[in-house]
Amino acid sequence: MVNRIVTGAHYGIKDWLIQRVTAAIMAVYTIVFGIVYVVTCPKDYFEWSYMFQPQWMRTITLLFFLSLFWHAWIGVRDIFMDYIKCTALRLGLQVLTILVLIAYALWTIQILWSV
């Protein structure tokens, strides 16, 4: 029997749940995006960028990307925890991943709101 701390130790239930909630958000967005794409059927730059003009479209697209980045963080962190045994290297890669994902989030906002 392994001694487990009963309270205050986070065994990953929060991450487990976030991974599933973000997955559901992305799945719903995929369907909504598919419908919007089929309905508007953008053929050139103006129709394509027009698709991202409405505020609600920008907002749900940003929500999708933020879900993606959080989801990817948990998944990549799990991969690092499983395969990289050297603590310094793992920590380094995890910090790098977080920084890259934060940069992606800022970039996404810039892309969507400069359309």
Partner 1 sequence: MNTKPRPKHLDLTKIRLPLPGFVSILHRVSGLGMFLMIGVLLGVLSLSLESPQGYAQAAKCLTGWLGKTLVIGLVWAFTHHFIAGIRFLLLDLHVGSDLSAARKSSAAVLVLSVVLTLIFGVSIW
Residues that bind partner 1 (CB under 8 A): 20, 23-24, 27, 30, 44-46, 48-49, 52, 68, 72, 75-76, 79, 100, 104, 107-108, 111, 114-115
In whole angstroms, the minimum distance from the beta carbon of 14 to partner 1 comes to: 15
The answer to whether 73 touches 97, Cβ cutoff 8 Å, is yes
What is the C-alpha to C-alpha distance for residues 1 and 37, in angstroms, rounded to an integer?
Answer: 54
Among residues 73, 55, 71, 63, the alpha carbon closest in space to that of 29 is found at: 63
Nearest residue (CB) to partner 1, 7 versus 67:
67
In whole angstroms, the minimum distance from the beta carbon of 45 to partner 1 comes to: 4
In whole angstroms, the minimum distance from the beta carbon of 43 to partner 1 comes to: 11
Nearest residue (CB) to partner 1, 8 versus 41:
41
* Residue 8: DSSP 8-state: S
Question: How would you classify residue 21: left for phi > 0, otherwise alpha for psi between -120 and 50, otherwise beta?
Answer: alpha
Nearest residue (CB) to partner 1, 91 versus 107:
107
- Token duo for residue 97: 């991943």
In whole angstroms, the minimum distance from the beta carbon of 23 to partner 1 comes to: 6
